[in-house]
């Protein structure tokens, strides 16, 4: 019987875990090594002590409606995409509202987590913590590891001959980057094009003498702003689109997607990606295409080697007088406090059952929260994992037998790792993954059932954005405000934009409504297809009432 739960880390994963433990009547203690909540979203100017924080100019790339806690919508006057201080403010509101702070021990680092000698029967853990140099031992019935996967920078220097031995300039990892000032007037080479590499290149291009961006993967660039100005993730992450992805042959889906990606600008012309690419990544960045178009950022292929002051690239070109190399090469996950016999059970998150539980453990009392990368908000993923996990700890939910969990893991994990980059292995479809965990937790809504009982809500759920409130309509943890939150999500999206009244009575929308009314069902289907691939926000149920 699990009662006492250790939660490691008070970022968004730790806060959600804490709240879910309390909902289930468990006794959690959250250990946070820094002095405050928020994890990497709590920006600090200093990089001392190796604490990971986002950079000063960061803005979320998932919208507030698609990233919030499922029973606690973001304030309606917050913008859709949040700078770090507003996201942290939202976390503070959540922690206050659910009275979480008194369960957190700040400035307390977890040093080790080891199975107790009777683990086979008790499932208990010995946890050693350190506060102000004083160590303390605790016994817990279960442990939730919520330290994210941004604790250890991935700095693959061996792949860049000369960087350590010949190069006389400065090099650093993006973890150390806070703002562009230190790079003023310099010639900077950014290595790697994830969201961070894209953001930092754009920011540096405003002050640096020149920015080169070295990329090796085909990369599609997305804007947070969709065709009609609504947040892209709200328009794209719908159950209807998800259904079409499942329905259509993959080759056709890919073709349509690539066409849509190229409708903003032709990625091949910019040297970013080709429609023939099978391996590719997607990043969010509104400004990168313009920086490339205006020459403030120059794209380069992979670096072959460095000399004293130059970078030689794989296409044979050289860039001279490089002052700084900024590695935006991501992070590798690491759980240094876990005993070796447990740590060795998972070399990446695919070795975990549903990316959460090491299936080989004699007792399912260890859960890894947030070790997942989704095509939508990781925060929503972490909260859903926490709801499922705490249901199991509380004893009303069960995991399948170890053999079944192992079979599931092996099915999902190809025996040969195709891509050496561990981060690529983490990417999962947002709706598929959240639905999968929600099914395990018994909180996935049934659109068909809702169609019979509450058609308006069913249509909003199917054609509208897959916001987290959907997972509070049924099952344990059902929230009475969920229906209202879904039906008002577009209002909260538009509210912060409506700071100036504009008369839009003659924008032609009346004509559009008449057309909708007169259209035959077949035309509706065509309209939905159109809404997905060219004018997404025009779907009459997906869009707001303007």
Report the interface residues with ligand FAD, using CB under 6 A.
Answer: 8-14, 31-34, 39-41, 52, 54, 58, 60-62, 67, 109-110, 146-148, 150-151, 196, 337, 370, 377-379, 382
Instruction: Show the tokens assigned to 275.
Output: 């429609």
Closest CB 32 distance from ligand FAD, rounded Å? 5
- Gyration radius from the chain CA atoms: 24
Question: In which region does residue 277 sit, left (phi positive, over 0), alpha (psi from -120 to 50) or beta (all else)?
Answer: beta
Beta carbon nearer to ligand FAD, 370 or 543: 370
Q: Least distance to ligand FAD from the beta carbon of 137, Å?
A: 15
CB of 153 to ligand FAD, least distance (A): 11
Do residues 372 and 434 make contact, with C-beta atoms less than 8 angstroms apart? no
Contacts of 418 (CB under 8 A, 6+ apart): none
Nearer to ligand FAD, 113 or 163 (CB): 113
Which residue, 105 or 350, has its beta carbon nearer to ligand FAD? 105
| C-beta of 145 vs 459, nearer to ligand FAD | 145
Q: At its nearest, how many Å lie between ligand FAD and the CB of residue 350?
A: 18
Q: Of 106 and 265, which has the nearer Cβ to ligand FAD? A: 106
In the block, which residue shows the tokens 């199975």?
115
CB nearer to ligand FAD: pick between 62 and 285: 62
Q: How far is it, in rounded angstroms, from Cα 143 to Cα 338?
A: 11
Residue (127 or 163) nearer to ligand FAD, CB: 127
CB atoms within 10 A of CB 71: 22
In the complex, least distance from residue 313 CB atom to ligand FAD, rounded to whole angstroms: 26
Q: Please state the three-class secondary structure of 207-243 as a single string.
A: CCCEEEEECCCEEEEECCECCCCCEHHHHHCEHHHHH
Dihedral sign for Cα atoms in the order 260, 262, 263, 264: positive
State which residue, 323 or 436, has the beta carbon closest to ligand FAD: 436
**Among 195, 204, 125, residue whose Cα is nearest residue 363:** 125
CB of 92 to ligand FAD, least distance (A): 14
Q: How far is the CB of 161 from ligand FAD (least distance, A)?
A: 28
Nearest distance, CB of residue 252 and ligand FAD, angstroms? 29
Provide the residue count of the chain: 546
Smallest gap from Cβ 143 to ligand FAD, in A, equals 11
Min. distance of Cβ 133 from ligand FAD in angstroms?
Answer: 15
Q: How far apart are CA 377 and CA 385, in angstroms?
A: 13
Nearest C-alpha neighbor of 231 from the set 66, 91, 90, 88: 66
Residue 521 token pair? 């069902």
Question: Which residue stretches of 217-359 are H helix?
Answer: 232-236, 239-247, 250-264, 288-293, 340-343
**Pick 6 or 458: Cβ nearer ligand FAD:** 6
CA–CA distance, 55 with 154 (Å, rounded to integer) = 17
Q: Of 11 and 540, which has the nearer Cβ to ligand FAD?
A: 11
Least spacing, CB of residue 13 vs ligand FAD, in Å: 3
Enclosing H/E stretch for 45:
none
- Name the residue number minimizing CB distance to ligand FAD: 39
Q: How many CA atoms lie within 13 Å of 232's alpha carbon, on the beta-carbon side? A: 21
DSSP helix/strand/coil, 136? strand
> How far is Cα 55 from Cα 41, in angstroms, rounded to an integer?
9
Q: Cα–Cα distance between 12 and 146 in angstroms, integer?
A: 8
Cβ proximity to ligand FAD: between 40 and 516 the closer is 40
Residue 374 Cβ vs ligand FAD, minimum distance, rounded to whole Å: 8
The residue (of 147 and 409) whose beta carbon lies closer to ligand FAD is 147
Q: Concatenated DSSP letters for 333-358?
A: ---TTB-HHHHTT-SSGGGSBTTTB-
Token duo for residue 56: 């000063």
The tokens of 330 are what? 């991501």
């Amino acid at each position: 019987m699990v009662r006492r739960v250790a939660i490691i880390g008070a970022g968004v994963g730790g806060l959600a875990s804490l709240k879910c433990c309390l909902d289930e009547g468990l006794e959690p203690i959250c250990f946070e090594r820094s002095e405050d909540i928020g994890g990497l979203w709590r920006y600090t100017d200093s990089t001392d002590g190796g604490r990971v924080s986002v950079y000063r100019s960061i803005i979320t790339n998932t919208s507030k409606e698609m990233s919030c806690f499922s029973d606690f919508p973001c304030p309606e006057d917050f913008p859709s995409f949040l700078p770090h201080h507003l996201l942290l403010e939202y976390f503070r509101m959540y922690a206050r509202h659910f009275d979480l702070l008194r369960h957190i021990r700040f400035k307390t680092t977890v040093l080790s987590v080891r199975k107790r000698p009777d683990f086979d029967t008790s499932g208990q853990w010995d946890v050693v913590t350190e506060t102000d140099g004083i160590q303390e031992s605790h016994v817990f019935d279960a442990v939730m590891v919520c330290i994210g996967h941004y604790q250890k920078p991935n700095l693959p220097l061996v792949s860049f001959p000369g960087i350590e031995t010949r190069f006389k300039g400065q090099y650093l990892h993006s973890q150390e980057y806070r703002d562009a000032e230190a790079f003023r007037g310099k010639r900077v080479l950014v290595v790697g094009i994830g969201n961070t590499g894209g953001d930092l290149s754009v920011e540096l291009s405003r002050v640096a003498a020149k920015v080169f961006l070295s990329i090796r993967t085909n990369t599609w660039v997305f804007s947070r702003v969709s065709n009609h100005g609504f947040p892209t993730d709200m328009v794209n992450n719908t159950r209807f689109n998800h259904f079409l992805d499942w329905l259509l042959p993959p080759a056709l889906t890919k073709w349509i997607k690539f066409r849509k990606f190229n409708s903003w600008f032709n990625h091949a012309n910019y040297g970013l990606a080709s429609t023939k690419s099978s391996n590719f990544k997607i990043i969010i960045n509104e400004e990168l295409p313009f920086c490339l178009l205006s020459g403030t950022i120059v794209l380069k292929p992979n670096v072959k080697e460095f000399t004293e002051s130059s970078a030689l690239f794989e296409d044979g070109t050289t860039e001279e007088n490089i002052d700084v190399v900024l590695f935006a090469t991501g992070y590798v996950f690491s759980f240094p406090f876990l005993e070796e016999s447990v740590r060795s059970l998972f070399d990446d998150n695919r070795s975990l059952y549903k990316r959460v539980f090491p299936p080989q453990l004699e007792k399912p009392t260890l859960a890894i929260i947030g070790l997942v990368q989704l095509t939508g908000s990781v925060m929503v993923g972490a909260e859903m994992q926490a709801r499922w996990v705490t249901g199991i700890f509380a004893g009303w939910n069960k995991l399948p037998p170890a053999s079944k969990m192992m079979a599931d893991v092996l099915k999902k994990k190809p025996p040969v790792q195709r891509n050496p980059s561990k981060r690529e292995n983490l990417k999962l479809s947002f709706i598929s993954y959240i639905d999968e965990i929600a099914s395990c937790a018994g909180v996935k809504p049934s659109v068909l059932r809702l169609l019979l009982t509450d058609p308006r809500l069913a249509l909003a759920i199917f054609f509208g954005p897959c916001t987290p409130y959907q997972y509070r309509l049924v099952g344990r943890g059902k929230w009475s405000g969920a229906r209202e939150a879904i039906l008002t999500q577009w209002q909260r999206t538009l509210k912060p934009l409506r700071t100036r009244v504009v008369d839009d009575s003659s924008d032609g929308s009346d004509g559009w409504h008449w057309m909708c009314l007169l259209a035959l069902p077949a035309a509706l289907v065509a309209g939905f297809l159109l809404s997905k691939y060219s004018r997404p926000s025009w779907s009459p149920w997906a869009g707001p009432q303007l």
